[in-house]
């Protein structure tokens, strides 16, 4: 927890501070830009880009999984993209020719990082301090969108991006092949092959350097290096005789050779038509068409305004540089970062209406496929039409499990480039299309289902379209799924409160993109955990302000089960959860590389986990409600309860024959919660009194006025064949 460091300043002091920051970074922006341009015109720009991409964007992988990509001098893919665009502004006759030495590389790293920072801070406007609450809220949304557009690239894990794009766009293969001479599948397979080839080359390079580093004799090291670069003993001997070489330590000598070997880094990023065609099995003529289509030539961006590159970089859709030598592509992964916009743009020119229909149909089909992996297939229905008065509506998907109904709305709208650049009118429109309208639609159906389940006398044809008796449904949940990610705004609804963009009486529901939705259903293996996650996400959406994306929410859930204690009641608290997705990121990225490590799982005690499994196995009526209630206890509270049960067990074994002995733990929560828990222990000798014990415990749990439900768990401690022998959800008489 920390306070706003600017709270003690007056308004005038804040304005002066912001004005100073903006002016300093405007100056710094142009200074950094000039340094980068000078580096490209002085030193070999191909190799500079290759080295910065090779070192700045690569991560290690081993038996322990894929390493984090943090710590590379603050360099991200967006910095390398900027360098590539600046490079493409320079005609080939102005390219530098000096070798790229380690000090030049470090200067490039530092300056690119400063360039990105300077661009962001140079747009700070002290005049906005006097803006209305509404305008400030809109400014905040614009800032989030622009920052996301500038720096965030991953909208899903690689296998998801590859599969989703292939499934979505292969539908247009024949059309594209007829019009352009290559298909969507050809494009995706070409870039996938280039990416894998590049990764293998960099891995091989790392292995070679590791072997060289292991050599401890200078002459042997020099010989092995010369053999590596195609030379022999004579050249090695001549090199050793160069003044000062023989006096170098083995470490300094290795670093010198390493720097020299970096001059060949660009070899890992050059691709020929023949090599790519051979790897993919795609005809060489088709391969050439693909490579040409997604290429720029040196100087093609010469007239492109540099300031626009941060929010609309042409290399996002054409990541290859066509050179006389071959095709140079320092970031094949860049294609997959923008695959949706790239292929949409391609197909829109041929059949925009068919693309629109395909996006919508695919999203609905994929959601249904994902849901049926975790929930009963027979109880999941799609495209449900229903009426309220004279109006007809259609809901994309409803799935039922036990006493829960989950309404899922799908929105496949395309996010416009102007919205991603921060245009407020476009942002507002997309917020309405992707976040507001589906939530309003699902809330409308939630209200109708609640009416029908509470009043069996209401006649409605909707009852016949559903696979369950609505009288058995006690809770309706909602979730919206979009095809594209919208700057993670869908995970931060609280930021829209002051914009006046939301309708009155708006009830948000969790909203996530397709890849995150799929991850959620894989990460949480128990259906009851998915239900609890969605229920708590809905509750938190209304009360707490977060900064993070959906994967960060999953990381937060893994650690806390969304039990946030007093933070949830702090009206002004903003909880920053960025980076909490790290365990999930490591697991899924490692899995994509074929490395299997332990999967992150919500931190649930063995006692509670055993109860979940038995509930799921027996499908006790209302078992999902019981499971959700159990998940309301934080991991720490679960451990405390499990420990208390063990202590109580010892006491019961000693005192069970005594009248009035203590044999129950009653947990009554704070006023913020309406659930209590009672855990009762008995033995074979007094099992005939178990219902008496249970009733007394339930009455104690329901005694506080704020408690509406009490979960009672009873166990015979003389029998260890199951985690419980009785379980029931008791309601207060007023509920």
Residue 360 pLDDT > 50, yes or no? yes
- Residues in contact with 398: Cβ distance below 8 Å, sequence separation at least 6, in sequence order: 380, 381, 384, 405, 406, 407, 408, 445, 466
Residue 268 C-alpha from the chain's centroid: 29
Report pLDDT digits (tens) over 515-544: 999 999 999 988 899 999 999 999 887 777
Q: Which of these, 588, 399, 424, lies nearest to 481 by C-alpha position? A: 399
What the block records as the tokens of 655 is 């005192």
Residue 8 pLDDT > 70, yes or no? yes
Task: Specify burial of residue 366 (Cβ count, 10 A radius: 0-12, 13-18, 19+).
Answer: buried
- What's the pLDDT at 662? 95
Residue 1 pLDDT > 70, yes or no? no
Report pLDDT digits (tens) over 552-595: 999 999 999 998 865 555 555 678 898 899 999 999 999 999 99
710 touches 702 (CB < 8 A): yes
Report pLDDT digits (tens) over 697-706: 999 999 988 8
How far is the C-alpha of 547 from the C-alpha of 492, rounded, in Å? Answer: 6
What confidence category does residue 133 fall into, taking pLDDT thresholds of 50, 70 and 90?
confident
Cα pseudo-dihedral 659, 663, 669, 670, rounded to 10 = 50
Task: Specify burial of residue 604 (Cβ count, 10 A radius: 0-12, 13-18, 19+).
Answer: buried
Indicate the range of 1-5, 385-389, 634-638 predicted with least confidence.
1-5
Task: Specify burial of residue 328 (Cβ count, 10 A radius: 0-12, 13-18, 19+).
Answer: buried
How far is the C-alpha of 553 from the C-alpha of 575, rounded, in Å? Answer: 11
- Residues in contact with 705: Cβ distance below 8 Å, sequence separation at least 6, in sequence order: none
What confidence category does residue 719 fall into, taking pLDDT thresholds of 50, 70 and 90?
very high
- Residues in contact with 205: Cβ distance below 8 Å, sequence separation at least 6, in sequence order: 265, 268
Task: Specify burial of residue 435 (Cβ count, 10 A radius: 0-12, 13-18, 19+).
Answer: buried
- What's the pLDDT at 61? 81
How far is the C-alpha of 9 from the C-alpha of 398, rounded, in Å? Answer: 52
R_g (Cα) of the chain, nearest Å: 31
Under DSSP, the state recorded for 413 is: P
What is the 3-class SS of 65-130, one letter each residue?
A: EECCCCCCCCCCHHHHHHHHHHHHCCCHHHCCCECCCHHHHHHHHHHHHHHHHHHHHCCCCHHHHH
Report pLDDT digits (tens) over 23-34: 998 999 999 999
For residue 397, the SS3 value is strand
Residue appearing with tokens 């993109």: 513
- What's the pLDDT at 734? 65
Residue 357 pLDDT > 90, yes or no? yes
- What's the pLDDT at 4? 67
What is the 3-class SS of 534-585, one letter each residue?
A: HHHHHHHHHHCEEECCHHHHHHHHHHHCCCCHHHHHCCCCEEECCCCCHHHH
How far is the C-alpha of 697 from the C-alpha of 691, rounded, in Å? Answer: 10
Q: Strand 574-576 and strand 327-328: pairing?
A: unpaired
Residue 210 pLDDT > 70, yes or no? yes
Residue appearing with tokens 């496929």: 369
More confident residue, 205 or 376: 205
Indicate the range of 2-16, 189-203, 341-355 predicted with least confidence.
2-16
Q: Strand 675-682 and strand 664-667: pairing?
A: antiparallel
Task: Specify burial of residue 658 (Cβ count, 10 A radius: 0-12, 13-18, 19+).
Answer: exposed
- What's the pLDDT at 130? 80
- What's the pLDDT at 65? 84
Q: What angle do CA 584, 611, 600 make, to 5 degrees?
A: 10
Around 662, how many Cα atoms within 13 Å sit in the side-chain half-sphere? 9
Q: What proportions of the chain, in percent to the nearest 5, are helix, strand and coil?
A: 60, 10, 30
Taking residues 270-278, what's their average pLDDT? Answer: 97
How far is the C-alpha of 359 from the C-alpha of 647, rounded, in Å? Answer: 57
- What's the pLDDT at 671? 62
- What's the pLDDT at 95? 94
- What's the pLDDT at 72? 47
Report pLDDT digits (tens) over 650-663: 999 999 999 999 99
Q: What angle do CA 360, 365, 368 make, to 5 degrees?
A: 130
Mean pLDDT score across all residues of the chain = 91
More confident residue, 129 or 57: 57
- What's the pLDDT at 71? 44
What is the enclosing helix (H) or strand (E) of 224?
helix 218-228
% of the chain exceeding 90 in pLDDT: 69
What confidence category does residue 672 fall into, taking pLDDT thresholds of 50, 70 and 90?
low
678 touches 666 (CB < 8 A): yes
Residue 336 pLDDT > 90, yes or no? yes
């Amino acid at each position: 927890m920390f306070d706003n460091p600017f709270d003690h300043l007056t308004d005038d002091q804040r304005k002066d501070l912001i004005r100073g920051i903006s002016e300093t970074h405007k100056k710094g922006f142009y200074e950094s830009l000039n340094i980068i341009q000078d580096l490209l015109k002085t030193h070999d720009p191909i190799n500079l880009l290759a080295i910065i991409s090779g070192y700045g964007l690569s991560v290690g992988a081993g038996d322990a999984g894929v390493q984090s990509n943090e710590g590379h001098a603050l360099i991200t893919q967006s910095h390398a993209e900027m360098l590539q665009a600046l490079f493409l502004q320079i005609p080939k006759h102005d390219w530098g020719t000096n070798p790229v030495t380690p000090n030049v590389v470090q200067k490039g790293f530092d300056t690119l990082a400063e360039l990105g920072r300077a661009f962001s801070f140079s747009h700070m406007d002290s005049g906005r301090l006097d803006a209305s609450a509404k305008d400030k809220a809109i400014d905040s949304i614009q800032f989030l969108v622009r920052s996301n557009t500038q720096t965030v690239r991953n909208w899903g894990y690689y296998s998801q991006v590859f599969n989703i794009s292939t499934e979505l766009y292969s539908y247009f293969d024949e059309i594209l092949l007829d019009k352009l001479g290559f298909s969507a599948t050809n494009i995706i397979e070409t870039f996938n092959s280039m990416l894998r080839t590049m990764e293998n080359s960099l891995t091989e390079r790392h292995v070679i350097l590791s072997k060289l580093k292991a050599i401890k004799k200078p002459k042997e090291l020099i010989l092995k290096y010369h053999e590596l670069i195609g030379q022999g003993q004579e050249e090695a001997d001549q090199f050793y005789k160069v003044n000062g070489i023989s006096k170098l330590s083995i470490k300094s000598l290795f670093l010198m050779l390493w720097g020299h070997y970096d001059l060949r880094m660009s070899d890992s990023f050059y691709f020929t038509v023949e090599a790519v065609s051979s790897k993919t099995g795609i005809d060489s003529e088709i391969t050439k068409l693909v490579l040409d289509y997604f290429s720029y030539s040196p100087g093609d961006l010469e007239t492109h305004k540099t300031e626009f590159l941060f929010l609309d970089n042409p290399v996002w859709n054409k990541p290859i540089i066509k050179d006389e030598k071959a095709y140079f592509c320092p970031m094949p992964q860049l294609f997959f970062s923008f695959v949706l916009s790239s292929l949409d743009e391609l197909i829109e020119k041929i059949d925009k209406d068919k693309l629109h229909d395909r996006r919508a149909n695919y999203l609905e089909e994929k959601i249904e496929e994902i849901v049926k992996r975790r929930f009963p297939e027979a109880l999941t229905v799609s495209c449900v039409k229903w009426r309220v008065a004279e109006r007809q509506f259609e809901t994309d998907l409803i799935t039922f499990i036990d006493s829960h109904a989950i309404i899922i709305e799908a929105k496949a709208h395309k996010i416009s480039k102007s919205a991603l650049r921060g245009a407020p009118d476009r942002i507002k429109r997309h917020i309405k299309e992707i976040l507001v309208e589906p939530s309003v639609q699902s809330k409308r159906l939630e209200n109708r289902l609640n009416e029908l389940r509470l009043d069996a006398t209401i006649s409605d044809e909707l009852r016949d379209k559903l696979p369950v008796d609505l009288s058995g449904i006690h809770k309706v949940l909602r979730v919206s799924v979009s095809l594209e990610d919208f700057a993670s705004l869908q995970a931060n609804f609280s930021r829209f409160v002051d914009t006046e963009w939301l309708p009155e009486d708006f009830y948000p529901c969790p909203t996530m993109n397709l890849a995150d939705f799929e991850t959620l259903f894989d990460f949480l293996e128990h259906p009851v955990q998915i239900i609890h996650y969605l229920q708590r996400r809905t509750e938190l959406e209304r009360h707490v302000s977060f900064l993070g994306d959906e994967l960060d929410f999953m990381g937060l859930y893994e650690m806390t089960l969304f039990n946030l204690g007093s933070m949830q009641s702090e009206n002004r608290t903003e909880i920053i959860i960025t980076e909490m997705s790290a365990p999930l990121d490591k697991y899924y990225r490692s899995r994509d590389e074929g490395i299997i490590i332990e999967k992150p799982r919500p931190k649930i005690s063995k006692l509670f986990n055993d109860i979940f499994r038995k509930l799921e196995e027996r499908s006790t009526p209302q078992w999902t409600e019981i499971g959700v209630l159990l998940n309301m206890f934080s991991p720490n509270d679960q451990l405390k309860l499990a420990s208390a049960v063990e202590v109580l067990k010892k006491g019961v074994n000693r005192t069970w024959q005594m009248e009035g002995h203590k044999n129950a733990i009653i947990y009554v929560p704070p006023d913020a919660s309406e659930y209590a828990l009672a855990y009762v222990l008995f033995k074979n000798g007094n099992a005939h009194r178990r219902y008496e014990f249970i009733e007394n415990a339930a009455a104690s749990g329901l005694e506080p006025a704020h408690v509406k439900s009490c979960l009672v768990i009873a166990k015979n401690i003389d029998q260890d064949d199951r985690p419980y022998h009785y379980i029931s959800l008791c309601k207060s008489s007023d509920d």
